Amino acid sequence: MPTFEVPNIAANTPLWLALVTTFVAAVSGAILGRQPGKVSYDIVGVTVFAFVLGLGGGITRDVLLGNLPPLALRSPWYVVTVLGAVITVLLIGRWIPVDGWTFILLDALALGLYAVIAAQLAVEFGLPDIGAITVGFLAAVTGGVLVSVLRGETPQILLPSQPYALLAVIGATIYVLLDAYSGGVAAFACLASVIVLRFVTLRWNLRTRSVRPLRPSEEGRAPEGSAPEGSAPEAD
């Protein structure tokens, strides 16, 4: 296989592709700011969520690697893209089909791209494989975790749910393993795996299971008959 012909999308990400995925992530963030709930956010809240979800991963990656100032601030286009996403959500937020296949596809592409770009850069900065996978994972999930923390919610990736963080780990692992053979093929395989796995988990509603608590739950024992599954009394 003429590996030299496959461009490495992780090492030389076209700017338009980076901006499209930033836009998608920032739109998701801004929409979180307009979600009905106990509190309503103001324009700063909506913008901060868009900023954190759109750029938080890349900034985390660059801080960890010492690649400073972060790319997201060195180029003006990333912040402009986030502001564009905020304006889009303010104007036509209700018509954005966030549950549609197109958006899910772009969101999975963003997930994979964050992971693979970060893993690639980490390899370039001399990190060992397992360090590069860790950076890829952190780049992919930190934005979402920070937004959850700002909203006072438990980050979804820590709870039983459709695997999302795991896809980033799998994608980064595939990239790192195949990179020695061909960076271009590795990046393509990473992105394809993340996207396919994302649709597979959605289609069959695959979910991670909760890890069984070490002891019966204190809360669960008090009101009789209401003990959750994982907290059944058992011999210690």
Site for its own copies in 117-156 (CB under 8 A): 122, 125-131, 134-135, 145, 149-155
Distance of closest approach, residue 90 Cβ to its own copies, in angstroms? 7
| Cα distance between residue 114 and residue 139, in whole Å | 6
Position 84 contacts its own copies (CB under 8 A): no
Question: Is residue 112 within 8 Å of 164, Cβ to Cβ?
Answer: no
Among 20, 93, 104, 124, binds its own copies (CB under 8 A): 93
| Cα distance between residue 131 and residue 122, in whole Å | 8
Among 6, 11, 20, 73, binds its own copies (CB under 8 A): 73
Q: How many residues bind its own copies (CB under 8 A)?
A: 78
Among 10, 64, 113, 172, binds its own copies (CB under 8 A): 64
Binding mask 100-119 for its own copies (x = CB under 8 A): --------------------
| Cα distance between residue 236 and residue 234, in whole Å | 6
Position 35 contacts its own copies (CB under 8 A): yes
Position 33 contacts its own copies (CB under 8 A): yes
Question: Is residue 52 within 8 Å of 43, Cβ to Cβ?
Answer: no
Q: Which is nearer to its own copies, 1 or 211 (CB)?
A: 211
Exposed/middle/buried for 128, CB within 10 Å: 0-12, 13-18, 19+?
A: exposed
- For residues 13-32, which are near its own copies according to CB under 8 A? 31
Q: Residue 90, Cβ neighbours under 10 Å: how many?
A: 14
Question: Is residue 199 within 8 Å of 143, Cβ to Cβ?
Answer: no
Position 87 contacts its own copies (CB under 8 A): no
Distance of closest approach, residue 32 Cβ to its own copies, in angstroms? 10
Position 40 contacts its own copies (CB under 8 A): yes
The secondary structure of residue 117, as a DSSP letter, is H
Phi first, then psi: give them for residue 125, nearest 5 degrees.
Answer: -85, 5
Distance of closest approach, residue 151 Cβ to its own copies, in angstroms? 7
Nearest-CA neighbor of 139 among 162, 108, 178, 112? 112
| Cα distance between residue 37 and residue 42, in whole Å | 13
- For residues 167-206, which are near its own copies according to CB under 8 A? none
Position 209 contacts its own copies (CB under 8 A): yes
Position 231 contacts its own copies (CB under 8 A): yes
Q: Which is nearer to its own copies, 7 or 45 (CB)?
A: 45
